[in-house]
Amino acid sequence: MKIKVNGKEVVLEKELTVRGLLGFQNVEMQDYVTVQINDEFVSRDDFEALPVKDGDVVEFLYFMGGGAAEL
- Ordered structural domains, the chain, with CATH: 2-61 (3.10.20.30)
Contact criterion met (CB below 8 Å) for 40 and 46: no
Q: List phi, psi (to 5°) of 29.
A: 50, 55
- pLDDT at position 37 is 98
Instruction: Give the type of residue at 42.
Output: V
Q: What predicted TM-score, i.e. pTM, was given to this entire model?
A: 0.85
Alpha helices in the chain (DSSP H): 18-24
As a whole-number percent, the residues of the chain with pLDDT over 70 amount to 90
Cα separations in angstroms, 62 against 6, 12, 40: 12, 23, 15
Instruction: Give the type of residue at 16.
Output: L
Q: Is the pLDDT of residue 42 over 90?
A: yes
